[in-house]
Amino acid sequence: MEERFDNDKIISTDEINELLGKLKFLEEESIQIMSTKGGKNNQRFESWAVGKIMAMEHLNREVMYKVFRSLWYTKEEVHFVALKEGAVIVKFSCLEDRSQILNNMPWLFDKCLFSMAPFVKGKNIASYEFWLSPFWLRVYNIPIEVMDRQLALDVGNAIGELMAIDWKDRNGAWTEFMRLKVKIDISKPLRRVMKFASEDGGEMIGVIKYERLPNFCYMCGMIGHNTKKCQNSTEGVGINDSNLHYGSWIRVPIMNPDQDKNMRRNGVEIVKTTIHTNEDKEES
Ligand SMILES: [Zn+2]
């Protein structure tokens, strides 16, 4: 008969470390192996990133890796190592590749968000802030005469952490909408509007639309689950038009790549670069 001991259980890394501190090592156990890092192709953690699939859906990771490899088109190889709970180490081979991919966040696979951050040596995976993710968003319905840089700064910082402003729409001014890159907290419902007080004491309501928005819930407005799987709704059972407070109107429609290229504007002003290390320079 198999006998189980009381201490025959899985213990945490912290507990193991505490235990190791108390142990007296044998002579053989005290011999150290040198970790040698030679050769050009040896990946180094300095250029790694950590990612996490921010969705309830079970995704085929192997397919995701394949898709990202082809989309990213990195200069050097990139390797993926799956961790627990949807987390993945993304081993870029050079900083340049990592910077480019992190700058072009958000990345979606199967309409689910793959949130990424630079790898930090020794940092517990659970303490990465994956719920903070940059998005390009547009604010419509602002009178043309009030759209200026200060308003863009105020709006961006009211929505989240403003990272960049694309302030050239046509000939150095906005016409239809302001375009901002903001790091938003996806553990909260998506913000739909921005209210402004006008000089005459009235109120203007700007409408926010998001570019490359992953699947989200039309009932509670959260990224990470779809409307049918919502557990946050307090409106009782059933989905009907009256309890859908969100909809596809919050997305900027995806255009084909050629159109997208024409839309690309070159007036991006970087406001914050806190998400990256010094080596990861932010660009548009
Ligand atoms: Zn929901």
What is the distance in A from the centroid of ligand 1 to the CA of 188?
A: 11
- Expressed in angstroms and rounded, the spacing between residue 112 Cα and the centre of ligand 1 is 15
Residue pair 194/205 in contact (Cβ under 8 Å)? The answer is yes
When the pLDDT of each residue in the chain is averaged and rounded to a whole number, the result is 83
Average pLDDT over residues 171-179: 76
Query: Is the Cβ–Cβ distance between 159 and 137 less than 8 Å?
Result: yes
Does position 268 have pLDDT exceeding 90, yes or no? no
* Contacts of 245 by beta carbon, 8 Å cutoff, 6+ apart: 218, 219, 221
Ligand 1 mean position to 230 CA, how many Å? 4
Q: What is the mean pLDDT of residues 147-163?
A: 91
Q: How far is ligand 1, taken at its centre, from the CA of residue 224, in Å?
A: 8
CB proximity list for 275: less than 8 A, separation 6 or greater: 102, 117, 134, 163, 183, 282
pTM for the predicted model, two decimal places: 0.79
**Who's near 248: CB < 8 A, 6+ residues apart?**
none
Out of 3.30.70, 3.10.20, 2.30.29, 1.10.287, which CATH number does the structure's domain 132-213+251-270 have? Answer: 3.30.70
Q: Nearest 10 degrees: CA dihedral of 191, 131, 133, 121?
A: 160
77 vs 8, residue with greater confidence: 77
The residue ranges of every structural domain in the chain are 45-127, 132-213+251-270
Measured in Å, residue 279 CA sits from the centre of ligand 1 at 38
Q: How many angstroms is it from 243 CA to the middle of ligand 1?
A: 11
Range 225-234 average pLDDT: 82
Is it the case that residue 241 has pLDDT exceeding 90? no
Q: How far apart are CA 227 and CA 215, in angstroms?
A: 9
- Identify the top-confidence range among 28-32, 86-90, 165-169, 243-247: 86-90
Superfamily of domain 45-127: RRM (RNA recognition motif) domain (3.30.70.330)
- 193 Cα: distance to centroid of ligand 1 (angstroms): 18
Which is higher by pLDDT, 60 or 260?
Answer: 60
> What would the mean pLDDT of 130-145 be, rounded to a whole number?
92
Which ranges of the chain would DSSP assign to H, the alpha helix? Answer: 13-22, 61-72, 95-103, 149-159, 257-263
Q: How far is the CA of 216 from the centre of ligand 1 (A)?
A: 8
In this structure, which amino acid lies at residue 119? F
Cα of first residue to Cα of last residue in the chain, in angstroms, is 65
Q: How many Å separate Cα 170 from the centre of its chain? A: 29
Q: For residue 189, how far is its CA from the centre of ligand 1 (angstroms)?
A: 9
Would you state the structure tokens that stand for residue 135, as one six-digit string?
Answer: 């998005």
Q: Is 132-213+251-270 in the same CATH topology as 45-127? A: yes
- CA of 186 relative to ligand 1 center, distance in Å: 12
